[in-house]
């Protein structure tokens, strides 16, 4: 396998094609053997490809041919849609086996996706103590630290020696999600310290745990939003973080691999919101798995709100109908003025929304931001107006006074759009809403209305229409 | 400190205010003591706040009052702008000390930011072997695996026992960026296996390394783009990944904490590109640290390109001038039709661009995407047209035939905008460019032109203007 790394994607694709061929010829075991050359994450990807290219039935056949322990691992790497598909085709007993064997946090994830009656049947056969724990975990709100954590961590006592601690880790190690950070609790389960495994490894065996544990550490409360958790991972360079309840009792840990997924999901959510798509059913489903109706529902709210905004834009135009009909050439520049205003506004809004999300700018910075955008607006506006002056006079052959009208309007529109685009996200943040929700479409439509108003005022001033 | 976690942000803010007060009263040591209650990451954040709120001089005074080892740690957590600011105020000798003490990858990061003459002065005083290594690392292209990696890893021999390995780790452990994954090389430095520390800890001491090492693993080539590296971390749930050169020799490792920053930077880049901002000087500087001129330069390219696109939109309007002046009411609906088309197109484009980035959709899916968007377009178009029919007839009091013209146009515009918005990113991806670069503004302006064309054709059909 060694050289496989060079072109892993290419190799995966070739093997997938080979497997599809085997499947077509009903050479199931050869397909299985080809699959088994890869690790669980790759096999999961290839099985999902088989579902897409051949059929779900073929995927299930292959899945059943995998050794039991491999199949559980592969299952844990599949997308939640892929997991639900597999479960829909296998028996309850097989599902029960997989769920029992999964790591605790993967177990919770799949139980959340499965239909309620199946979850009940599975829980019936789960030992009572674990059933209780599962139910507790299923009740943590989506996107909270509680929903991300696993109860599988290594817990040490403060009066143990490093040697005792290492022996304990050797015993329980394989059941823990990670053993790289160990946690020290007092008798009331309160978290009192953490010890990285690296410290244990380099420390003398007779040292007591309370001499090496760190009593200052970052931890999260079960209700904390996942975005804050991910910010802390980034700020403090962590690979795991403890989660405590209101009484400061350690209830679980979150590992960094789950945070990578959180970061991707949060970025996707921001990007979609900024462009007027609201994920109404809050699913992490893939684009192609979301139904047409759900897609339409996610997109319609903003479009309908803006529809109302355009009533005002329409009114502005109507008010100006006489002037326009007396000089119809003015209509020619409407799309350019509105479009440029919208784009300038959304550029500024994008930088501020992202800056707020990454902590680059804060509400207190509003004066500095305003001053900066004002100057940027002047520079950008002057350049665009100059270019535009040439277009209006040379390409369109209009008179200088028309060009002056259009270009003066453009300058003011750019400046005001930059100011509005940068200030609206700050105001929205100020009233504790997500700035990404004041999507670019909204900023565009506000700047459309302003662009038209400025244009018509300028036309009145310069052209006396 | 224990309960400090509950409201860490709040606490940090209070302490920062207290420190600012102390500084004003010239109580520098009290300010230092307040600062020392926190860990390096927090201190770094507070020092940057002091720069903003008081002055850089105050920050440097505080920085110098920190114990030497703490100051190096704090320095490594500062933003690169903050680091450069500090270096500009301290002596070469102090800088030399910090650079010497930094972890290797942090050392490379700061050397990349410092002015060339200072870098040369520092390198002069660096031992020759390390100078050579530093120069090699400084030459890896930005955003490559090579630029992210550190040469500080634990290397084991395959014929060692686990006991020997653990002793080796105890010796070299504290110099390694992470000891959680150890690497096995043959005599030619070729990477032949990896051993997680967790395996060593739970394995019998007399076992040989080559019995426990994994020979199948994911690794990266020094030239690989950081986006691919971060995808692999996510797919395989890794905390470190080895980096090899063309001869498959292990040259460094990348740790997951650096990947969190990569993911944030890549998301920022995508978000900015999608909204028409191009980071021309490819800096990771904060919004407020970028000059007005650089901001203007980053934003002007797209605006200028679109300026040209609007010449065509203008032509379409001009062609239709006679019709418009014979029925000026038609102008009223132009902003709504163009705006809605633009928004629909950018919604579709956003989902596809993000889907391509996260691997949810692929080029091969284009038929399925097209079919999906077509149906979504019908649903969204029908709903918007119905709402709009009421607006045109009831609110605006226009005749039914005008309403039919506007609404039929709207239906077609929505459908075509969804198709174009979803297909353009796929085409751009097909010719191996970044789909995010075909920014939403571009899609808006294409759909503007199409919206106007459809509208005027419909007006010709229904209203015979």
ipTM of the complex: 0.81
A265 occurs within a structural domain:
no
B125 Cα to chain A: minimum distance (Å): 30
* Residue of B247, B277, B303, B446 to mutate, testing the A interface (most A Cβ within 10 Å of its Cβ): B303
Distance from chain centroid for Cα A243: 21
Domain end marker among A210, A237, A256: A256
Q: Do B309 and B426 fall within a single domain?
A: yes
pLDDT per residue as tens, chain B (465 positions): 344 445 677 888 889 999 999 999 999 999 999 999 888 999 999 999 898 888 888 999 999 999 988 999 899 898 888 888 888 888 888 888 888 888 888 888 888 888 888 888 888 888 888 888 888 888 888 889 998 998 889 999 999 999 999 999 988 877 777 889 999 999 888 999 999 998 998 899 999 999 999 998 899 999 999 999 999 999 898 999 999 998 899 999 999 999 999 999 899 988 988 888 888 876 677 888 888 999 999 989 888 888 888 888 888 888 888 888 888 888 989 999 999 999 999 999 999 999 998 888 989 899 999 999 999 999 999 999 999 999 999 988 889 999 999 999 999 999 999 999 999 999 999 998 888 887 777 888 888 899 999 999 999 999 887
Token output for B45: 């954040």
Of B268, B324, B384, the CB nearest to A303: B384
Of A260, A325, A388, the CB nearest to B233: A260
Do A225 and B208 touch, CB atoms closer than 8 A?
A: no
Q: Are B331 and A351 in contact (CB < 8 Å)?
A: no
- Whether A340 is in a domain gets the answer yes
List the single residue in A180, A198, A325 with the smallest CB-CB distance to B325. A325
User: How far, in Å, CA of A230 to CA of A259, rounded?
Assistant: 6
**Residues from chain B contacting residue A166 (CB–CB below 8 Å):** 201
Cβ contacts (< 8 Å) between A343 and chain B: which residues? 276, 302-303, 306, 441, 444
- What pLDDT was estimated at residue A6? 53
User: Which residue of chain A comes nearest to B373, CA vs CA?
Assistant: A292
Q: Do A216 and B1 touch (CB under 8 A)?
A: yes
Q: What is the mean pLDDT of residues A198-216?
A: 91
Q: Are residues A126 and A33 in the same domain?
A: yes
| Contact assignment for A347 to B221 by CB distance below 8 Å | no
Q: Distances in Å between the alpha carbon of A179 and those of A21, A74, B197, B323?
A: 42, 22, 9, 75
What is d(CA B209, CA B186) in angstroms, rounded to the nearest whole number? Answer: 12
Q: Which H or E element spans position B367?
A: helix B366-390
pLDDT average, residue stretch A26-31 = 91
Same domain for A359 and A437? yes
pLDDT value for B173: 74
Q: Which residues of A touch B306 (CB under 8 A)?
A: 339-340, 343
A318 contact residues in B (CB cutoff 8 A): 329, 332, 396
Residue among B272, B317, B440 whose CB faces A335 most closely:
B317
Residues B137, B167, single domain; the answer is no
Record: contact A1-B216, CB cut-off 8 A: yes
Mutate to test the interface with B, among A213, A241, A296 (most CBs of B within 10 A): A296
pLDDT at A173: 74
Q: Are residues B317 and B423 in the same domain?
A: yes
pLDDT for B6 equals 53
CATH code (residue A409): 1.10.357.20
A168 and A58 in one domain?
Answer: no
Smallest Cβ distance to A361: which of B45, B288, B376?
B288
Task: Characterize the bridge pairing of strands B181-185 and B191-196.
Answer: antiparallel
- Domain limit, last residue, from A88, A122, A144: A144
Q: Tell me the nearest-neighbour CA distance from A356 into chain B, angstroms.
A: 10
Where is the domain boundary, B142, B164, B191? Answer: B142
Structural domain includes residue B270: no
In a domain, A179, yes or no: yes
Q: How many domains does chain A have?
A: 3
Residue B412, min C-alpha distance to chain A (Å): 15
CB contact under 8 A, A180 and B198: yes
CATH number at residue B111: 1.25.60.10
pLDDT higher than 90, residue A384: yes
Instruction: Return the HEC string of B172-197.
Output: HHHHCCCCCEEEEECCCCEEEEEEEH
User: Is B271 contained in some domain?
Assistant: no
Lowest mean pLDDT among A214-223, A436-445, B354-363, B389-398: A436-445
Question: Which positions in chain B touch A225 (Cβ < 8 Å)?
Answer: none
Max CA separation in chain A (angstroms):
95
B197: containing domain: 154-263
Q: What is the CATH number of the domain that holds B215?
A: 3.10.580.10
Domain membership of residue B358 (yes or no) is yes
In a domain, A274, yes or no: no
- On whether both B30 and B172 belong to a single domain, the answer is no
pLDDT in tens, A94-145: 888 888 888 888 888 888 888 888 888 888 888 887 888 888 888 888 889 9
Report d(CA B307, CA B315) in Å as an integer. 13
Comparing CA positions, the residue from B321, B444, B330 lying closest to residue A335 is B444
- Looking at the fold, whether B306 and B397 belong to one and the same domain comes out as yes
A443, with CB counted inside 10 A (0-12, 13-18, 19+), is buried
Instruction: Find the CB nearest B275 among A268, A347, A380.
Output: A347
Contact B166 A365 (CB under 8 A): no
Give the phi and the psi of residue A27 in degrees, each rounded to 5. -85, 70
Report which DSSP code applies to A285. Answer: -
User: With an 8 Å Cβ cutoff, are A310 and B340 in contact?
Assistant: yes
Residue B396 and residue B306 in one domain: yes
Residue among A13, A351, A356 with most chain B CBs within 10 A, to mutate: A351
Does a structural domain hold residue B282?
no
* Tens of pLDDT, residues A318-330: 888 888 888 888 8
Looking at the fold, whether B231 and B329 belong to one and the same domain comes out as no
Q: Which one of B239, B272, B361 has the shortest CB-CB distance to A350?
A: B272
In contact, A227 and B208? CB cutoff 8 Å:
no
Q: Name the residue in chain B with its Cα closest to that of A346.
A: B275
Residues A395 and A444 in one domain: yes
* Co-location of A349 and A219 in the same domain: no
């Amino acid at each position: 396998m060694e050289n496989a790394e060079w072109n892993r994607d290419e190799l995966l694709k070739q093997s997938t094609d080979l497997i599809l061929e085997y499947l077509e010829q009903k050479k199931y075991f050869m397909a299985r053997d080809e699959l088994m050359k890869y690790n669980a994450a790759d096999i999961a990807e290839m099985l999902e490809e088989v579902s897409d290219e051949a059929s779900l039935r073929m995927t299930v056949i292959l899945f059943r041919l995998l050794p039991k322990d491999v199949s559980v691992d592969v299952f844990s790497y599949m997308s939640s849609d892929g997991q639900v598909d597999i479960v829909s085709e296998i028996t309850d007993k097989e599902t029960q086996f997989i769920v029992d064997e999964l790591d605790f946090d993967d177990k919770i994830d799949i139980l959340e996706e499965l239909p309620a009656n199946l979850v009940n049947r599975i829980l019936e056969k789960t030992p009572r103590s674990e059933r209780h724990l599962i139910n507790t975990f299923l009740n943590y709100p989506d996107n909270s630290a509680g929903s991300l954590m696993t109860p599988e961590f290594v817990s040490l006592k403060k009066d143990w020696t490093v040697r005792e601690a290492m022996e304990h880790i050797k015993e329980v190690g394989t059941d823990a999600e990670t053993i790289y950070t160990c946690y020290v609790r007092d008798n009331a389960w309160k978290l009192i310290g953490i010890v990285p495994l690296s410290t244990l490894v380099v420390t003398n065996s007779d040292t007591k745990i309370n001499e090496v544990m760190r009593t200052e550490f970052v931890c999260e409360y079960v209700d904390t939003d996942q975005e804050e958790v991910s910010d802390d991972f980034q700020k403090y360079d962590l690979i795991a973080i403890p989660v405590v309840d209101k009484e400061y009792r350690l209830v679980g840990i979150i590992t960094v691999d789950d945070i990578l997924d959180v970061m991707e999901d949060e970025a996707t959510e921001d990007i979609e919101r900024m462009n007027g798509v609201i994920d109404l059913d809050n699913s992490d489903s893939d684009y192609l798995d979301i139904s047409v109706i759900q897609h339409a529902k996610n997109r319609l709210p903003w479009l309908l709100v803006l529809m109302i905004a355009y009533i005002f834009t329409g009114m502005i135009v109507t008010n100006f109908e006489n002037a326009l009909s007396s000089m119809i050439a003015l209509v020619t520049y409407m799309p350019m003025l509105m479009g440029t205003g919208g784009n300038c506004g959304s550029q500024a809004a994008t930088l501020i929304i992202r800056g707020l999300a990454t902590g680059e700018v804060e509400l207190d910075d509003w004066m500095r931001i305003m001053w900066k955008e004002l100057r940027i607006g002047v520079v950008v506006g002057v350049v665009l107006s100059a270019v535009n002056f040439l277009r209006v006079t040379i390409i369109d052959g209009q008179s200088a006074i028309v060009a002056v009208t259009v270009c003066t309007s453009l300058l003011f529109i750019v400046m005001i759009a930059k100011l509005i685009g940068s200030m609206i996200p700050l105001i929205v943040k100020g009233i504790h809403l997500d700035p990404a929700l004041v999507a670019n479409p909204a900023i565009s439509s506000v700047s459309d209305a302003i662009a038209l108003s400025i244009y018509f005022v300028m036309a009145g001033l310069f052209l006396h229409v």
